[in-house]
Amino acid sequence: MKPIIGIPLNAQHVKRNVSSKDIYYINEEYTLVLNKLGAMPILLPFTDDISLVKAQVDLCDGILLSGGDDITPYLYGEEPNPKLGEYNEAIDRYQLNMTNETIQQNKPLLGICRGAQIINIIFGGSVYTDMSYVPEKTLLHMQTGKRRDVCHTMVTKKGTKMHQYFGDEILINSFHHQAISTIGTGLIVSATAKDNIVEAIENNDLKYCVGVQWHPEIMAIYSESMNNLFIDFINHCKK
């Protein structure tokens, strides 16, 4: 039996000619890599009903939180600033509720980019609303090249899942203008860029709880080493 991995959908307002509509969406790479490695992804639509969030998690063997828009700043104790991008409070609350329910059920949880930030927030951490607010000088974290191309080096911490997957260091892509700031209680930093920006977090008290700031789902199509992350996540979803 293939493990069922739920992916909560993002939302976007789309204008086409004279009409407009609200849509749910997910980038295809998330489903492609899960299908390729033997899982069955299902897409979970927004709900503000906590009992339905619980029912969605009940259906799944694990949850994958995808990348997406910025996160509503006051949900992690910050005020908006001029460099804040588009955000959707309803979707943010839904995905925070989904994350909390997944943790309560101790089901495997993988967060990618924005998803890693959501995990950090649910554990009480915070996010830089823009990389320009990081006190130290930073590297390029919003690359302009092809999405599958590498951007900068990631250094892993020994004894962590990131080190298990990738060794001491690996080149990764990068598409984010926000970043993890204060680390949530119970989380550890398992990888950073060479400018000390957090690239991965883990919680060792749960069955599986990992957040990564880059986009391994894009690189996994072209880089076999990126599959290590998804294979381990999927294996935990089978248990």
Q: What is the CATH number of the domain that holds 213?
A: 3.40.50.880
Backbone angles phi, psi at 130, to 5 degrees: -155, 145
Chain-wide mean pLDDT for the chain? 90
What is the arithmetic mean of pLDDT over 204-228?
92
Identify the burial level of 130 via C-beta atoms within 10 angstroms of its C-beta, where 0-12 means exposed, 13-18 middle and 19 or more buried. Answer: middle
Element (H, E) at 21: strand 19-25
Of 10-14, 39-43, 75-79, 123-127, where does mean pLDDT reach its minimum?
10-14
**SS3 category, 168:** coil
What percent of the chain clears pLDDT 90, i.e. is strictly above it?
Answer: 64
In terms of Cα–Cα distance, which of 225, 68, 85 is closest to 154? 225
Quick one: 220 exposed, middle or buried, by C-beta within 10 A (0-12, 13-18, 19+)? buried
Q: How confident is the model at residue 134 (pLDDT cuts 50, 70, 90)?
A: confident
Q: What mean pLDDT do residues 119-128 have?
A: 96
**pTM for the model:** 0.92
Mean pLDDT of 113-124: 97
User: What range does the domain containing 205 cover?
Assistant: 4-238
Pairing mode, strands 188-193 and 152-156: antiparallel
Q: What is the mean pLDDT of residues 6-20?
A: 80
- Domain tally for the chain? 1
pLDDT for 235: 98
Query: What's the rounded Cα separation, in Å, for the pair 87 and 83?
Result: 12
pLDDT, tens digit (0-9, with 9 covering 90-100), for 52-96: 999 999 999 999 999 988 899 989 887 777 767 678 999 999 999
Predicted confidence band of residue 44 (pLDDT cuts 50, 70, 90): very high
Relative to beta strand 198-202, strand 40-44 is unpaired
Per-residue pLDDT, averaged over 33-48, amounts to 97
- Return the sign of the alpha-carbon dihedral for residues 74, 15, 64, 181: negative
